[in-house]
Structure 1
């Protein structure tokens, strides 16, 4: 149903910011008098981690155990808390732009398409081959195996690091970890003690967040809340699109220790409200030409237990419950409940062998309210996913390691899938390593592939494919990671992907479009990044990717468009970031990104220039001035007639803590 008119849903936020800002100023004066020494001790210096410290960052996503980034036999980039602060990112998808091995495309305010190594999705083939986790909880949607990027959210000030692995991770993480894994880790509650208030206003929206943390030697906790709103975006012509969006979220985290045991519990609840532009519809000034709004909400609760065992082994168990609700008029409403439990056992080293094994069991209830436009049959579905994995890291020599692993996973659509991997790592010297890998991974079908129907004549315009197979990728990788002195580090990875049974939309003899797997393909490319410490105050970081994809239909396929639209990815991307610290209280970050053009739908290449100036002007008080796309707006995804411009924005951010 069309709405005649509706005001933007942002004006209440500037008023909220003004009230909170006045309260903050009052609290800041009191806090400065009473707790200035305590604030100074807690403040994070503008000086980032050194190049050597970055190489020694612990990562866990590659082998499910702690290891130095320098030693990890995979293409992994770590976004640190300092990176997020220095860039002035205001949302999780925007923070992911900092990873040079990811392609982030914004279609409108709430629609992001994010992938690694191509296949970033189109209307025919959504981005569904990237696994995203927040503190071990997967945020993918069982509806289409991808991520609704307007749902997962975190308070960015609570993020400890984001590990971005480009390449397959199926052995350790399961099906759908085909092109990469994004593992978002939030800070331990002990590291977020005291009070924090964040206020931000941008030319297209505003947000506010708070956090309070407390605790003792063995137990700590925090609570937080955030709210944000963003106004309508525009087409290149300047006409408005009805995609204004506001959302609120609250949550908590508690951590405690008892001897060799560590426990963590965290929970979140959120509710969102966003406009939904009708296809090709334009909103006149002061009016809305969209259809009824999208409403989203959800709640999740996670618990984790880790025990250190004698001899260097460990055991961990994690369980979570996740509920999500999404109402998209006039097409459908989807409500899903997910219960998941994971167990992992790392054995003490046995001679040259370091073995880790474990399993996962997931049960989800999915209930779709159908419409005359789209139907999922059956409307209610219950699914069980179960898997076992094992991986052995073998020290062939002091500087040569072979990692062999496999995962057996059973899904409700294709039954058993086998996901093996082999990785060889050679530490050429303490600061240089060469690695290679071969992996087989799959993207299991989803409800969209099997259960989706569009009513029409005869009797459906589109029908799910009951014989749909898993999409298969065989991936070969060769990488080199090195550090030259204390000032330069770099990483280079070459890869080749061989795809089979990719999804197609074939025309049946009855005139119905049916999902199938009648396409194969191949892709090869390179990804590289480096950081150079020009001086004590100045650091440069750069990254680039190049990609070539080719797809072809199998004999007998009658698909008219999948080959042209599956590889709608830029042939290259590049970024350069410069951070300069004038002193311990002032810093300047300049970033330039270049993204090549894409095919169908055709999107021109673009360059984006971002700038942030940060100033800690008093104990516990920091101010940032942030400019995004300062060289002008640009489009990133979708056909020109409906493609939103990513605009030039200016913003101010105030952070107060004590």
Structure 2
């Protein structure tokens, strides 16, 4: 507990002082401060009309979005009892979320969850800030802290999004959108303690001037260790602290946002390790939204981020990012609604190997990424919309990439949408692809080019009855130039990273919500995946096609939310995951549950159980580190609004 209070105070103090001195806020209105009244009463029709932005980069109703998109609401997150962003992402039935140890996750959509934990075909954003690392074109999930109570929604798109979101939006896009400062007024304390984890989240929001609102927050947590296969402690517990702020001001014509975060963390000391595992960094983001009197919306967003990490082998990595995005949603003209924009990103990274480890040559590199895009929604008829989009993106490795997209959406009724799409996506080279060196073993990939996808999709989303909503999508993906690790000399070693694999994947994703009766809702999800990958003629990849991704052939989920009384909720979450083949992981079924009592509109007590069916189970294996299993856990939670 001493550590807990120390890192909470250390993380919260600088941001709290800076924002309070700048804002000089008034007290929040009493009727807005900290209410925790039940918000899970939205009808299925109201949920279908939730406003999303990730499919077309402009606000639209979920029911009319021509893509396989699932929205995780703030309400869903609260009712699930999730205590981290990766755990909240388990709520999306179109994602594979697999935990490797106390801090590591493999997260993917439509396959290619790489066995080293370096999945690289998702574009992930937090409030429009891309969080992928150019080290391997993926996400360090242990570095992504978000105060879940302040998340408005998480939009999860499976399928390519390159025409709007660029390279690396190959198999999907995850967009985490936090609430406006005006919607988080008053104070909130959320404390959790249990058999493995302990956490404290604190937030306060207020107002300044006529249009300004702000919030500051601090989070601190200690995550318990995983288990070895024998049941012993895995010695991988870790601590994390984060603090930040968000300020919104302005009116209908011009609105501004300034927000930022600082974080640090460390893992349990490992006997004999060369270094202590640590992570840290921060970011600052500013945005301006302008609404001209003649219609349309102009948006400009700039952010800076710096992250660093040291792992126990002694390897050190740091990254600085400078990013600018501009976008203009034109006022509708006749049957056309257009979005145009562009952006520029600069990455400056530094990677230092340790004794007898791999390294990157050169150790430091500056890479640049520039793009322009246009998308036009054409109303062919009142019930038929054609969307055409194209992004041109230039990167430091392969030059110009083109990312086209065509979508057709038909509304046969007011409560049904049938859509189809053809898209191209690419995953551009990362530092690991081009520059990874281990003398005598790996000689980099000097000729590595972008991995390519042509995707064909079709789907249905509708509400057959007032109490039932359904979404079904099918896809057929054709990949080329996938990464391989190949021998190019008679002596086998050293190996070179090349583009010697191609193949196809196809599958179905489906989810549905059924309002059984007032106060009881069931949500089910299922997806099936098949892969047919092969090496190019003459290829000498030493790992084979299984190394491209370790993915289950099916996933099933069922969630139940039941209001037992006006103040007592019971939530149950059952999931079943098929086995993995390389490395082998047995199929498993697990259960989570949450019993919550709203003592008042400001106080909620809950008991949360995770992985209740087994003492411990294996979800994913990183072949380069020891196997770790995820234990059963039980937590108590207090949420207090004031």
Alignment TM-score, normalising by the size of structure 1: 0.91
For 2:7 and 2:248, the matched residues in 1 are separated by 32
Out of 617, 620, 636, the residue aligned to residue 619 of structure 2 is: 636
CA 37–271 in structure 1, closer or farther in 2 if over 3 Å, else same: closer
The DSSP-based 3-state class of the residue aligned with 1:235 is: coil
For 1:274 and 1:557, the matched residues in 2 are separated by 40
Deviation at 1:46, TM superposition (A): 4.7
The match for 2:286 is 303
> What is the CA deviation profile of residues 261-301 of structure 1, one whole-angstrom value per residue up to 9, with x for unaligned ones?
11111000000101476xxxxxxxxxx46553211100100
Deviation at 1:452, TM superposition (A): 1.0
Out of 540, 550, 553, the residue aligned to residue 558 of structure 1 is: 540
For 1:15 and 1:618, the matched residues in 2 are separated by 31
For 1:259 and 1:129, the matched residues in 2 are separated by 37
> What is the CA deviation profile of residues 386-431 of structure 1, one whole-angstrom value per residue up to 9, with x for unaligned ones?
0010001000000000000111000111111000000000011100
Deviation at 1:639, TM superposition (A): 6.4
The match for 2:422 is 438
> What is the CA deviation profile of residues 348-369 of structure 1, one whole-angstrom value per residue up to 9, with x for unaligned ones?
1121111111001001111122
The match for 2:431 is 447
Out of 186, 207, 221, the residue aligned to residue 215 of structure 1 is: 207
CA 635–538 in structure 1, closer or farther in 2 if over 3 Å, else same: same
Judge which range, 484-493 or 218-227, deviates more: 484-493
The DSSP-based 3-state class of the residue aligned with 1:638 is: coil
CA 357–619 in structure 1, closer or farther in 2 if over 3 Å, else same: closer
Judge which range, 72-81 or 216-225, deviates more: 216-225
The match for 1:204 is 196
For residues 98-137 of structure 1, the aligned pairs below 5 Å read 98-123=91-116, 126-137=118-129
CA 40–468 in structure 1, closer or farther in 2 if over 3 Å, else same: closer
The DSSP-based 3-state class of the residue aligned with 1:100 is: coil
For 1:35 and 1:338, the matched residues in 2 are separated by 35
> What is the CA deviation profile of residues 189-217 of structure 1, one whole-angstrom value per residue up to 9, with x for unaligned ones?
00111111111002112000100100055
The match for 1:519 is 501
For 2:578 and 2:520, the matched residues in 1 are separated by 28
The DSSP-based 3-state class of the residue aligned with 1:292 is: coil
For residues 470-485 of structure 1, the aligned pairs below 5 Å read 470-485=450-465
> What is the CA deviation profile of residues 288-332 of structure 1, one whole-angstrom value per residue up to 9, with x for unaligned ones?
465532111001000011111233311000000000011124342
| Residue 265 of structure 1 pairs with residue 258 of structure 2 | yes
Judge which range, 44-53 or 398-407, deviates more: 44-53
> What is the CA deviation profile of residues 157-200 of structure 1, one whole-angstrom value per residue up to 9, with x for unaligned ones?
00000000000000000000001000000000001111111110
For 2:548 and 2:136, the matched residues in 1 are separated by 16
Judge which range, 65-74 or 580-589, deviates more: 580-589
For 2:380 and 2:317, the matched residues in 1 are separated by 51
Out of 574, 579, 587, the residue aligned to residue 556 of structure 2 is: 574
The match for 1:281 is none
Contact 2:35 2:601 in 1 (8 A): no
| Residue 403 of structure 1 pairs with residue 387 of structure 2 | yes
CA 245–313 in structure 1, closer or farther in 2 if over 3 Å, else same: same
For 1:496 and 1:574, the matched residues in 2 are separated by 20
| Residue 293 of structure 1 pairs with residue 276 of structure 2 | yes
Aligned length: 618
The DSSP-based 3-state class of the residue aligned with 1:388 is: strand
Deviation at 1:508, TM superposition (A): 1.7
For 2:275 and 2:317, the matched residues in 1 are separated by 16
Contact 1:172 1:389 in 2 (8 A): yes
Gaps of 5+ in 2: 9-26
Deviation at 1:120, TM superposition (A): 0.6
| Residue 621 of structure 1 pairs with residue 600 of structure 2 | no
For 1:243 and 1:70, the matched residues in 2 are separated by 43
The match for 1:140 is 132
For 2:279 and 2:438, the matched residues in 1 are separated by 23
The DSSP-based 3-state class of the residue aligned with 1:618 is: coil
CA 622–300 in structure 1, closer or farther in 2 if over 3 Å, else same: same
For 2:585 and 2:269, the matched residues in 1 are separated by 22
Judge which range, 409-418 or 255-264, deviates more: 255-264
For residues 145-164 of structure 1, the aligned pairs below 5 Å read 145-164=137-156
The match for 2:220 is 227
For 1:36 and 1:395, the matched residues in 2 are separated by 44
Alignment TM-score, normalising by the size of structure 2: 0.93
For 1:91 and 1:11, the matched residues in 2 are separated by 22
Contact 1:75 1:166 in 2 (8 A): yes
The DSSP-based 3-state class of the residue aligned with 1:310 is: coil
Deviation at 1:12, TM superposition (A): 4.1
| Residue 86 of structure 1 pairs with residue 69 of structure 2 | no
The match for 1:242 is 235
For 2:39 and 2:2, the matched residues in 1 are separated by 33
Contact 1:275 1:290 in 2 (8 A): no
The match for 1:599 is 581
Contact 1:404 1:422 in 2 (8 A): yes
The match for 2:330 is 347
The DSSP-based 3-state class of the residue aligned with 2:294 is: helix
The match for 1:23 is none
Contact 2:426 2:451 in 1 (8 A): yes
Contact 2:33 2:187 in 1 (8 A): no
Judge which range, 636-645 or 383-392, deviates more: 636-645
For 2:374 and 2:631, the matched residues in 1 are separated by 47
For 2:457 and 2:605, the matched residues in 1 are separated by 43
For 1:118 and 1:453, the matched residues in 2 are separated by 27
CA 449–536 in structure 1, closer or farther in 2 if over 3 Å, else same: same
The match for 1:535 is 517
> What is the CA deviation profile of residues 131-173 of structure 1, one whole-angstrom value per residue up to 9, with x for unaligned ones?
1100000111111100010001110100000000000000000
Out of 179, 182, 186, the residue aligned to residue 187 of structure 1 is: 179
For residues 303-382 of structure 1, the aligned pairs below 5 Å read 303-372=286-355, 373-382=357-366
For 1:320 and 1:393, the matched residues in 2 are separated by 29
For 2:34 and 2:588, the matched residues in 1 are separated by 43
| Residue 72 of structure 1 pairs with residue 71 of structure 2 | no
The DSSP-based 3-state class of the residue aligned with 1:450 is: helix
The DSSP-based 3-state class of the residue aligned with 2:149 is: helix
The match for 1:29 is none
Deviation at 1:16, TM superposition (A): 10
CA 37–321 in structure 1, closer or farther in 2 if over 3 Å, else same: closer
For 2:637 and 2:360, the matched residues in 1 are separated by 44
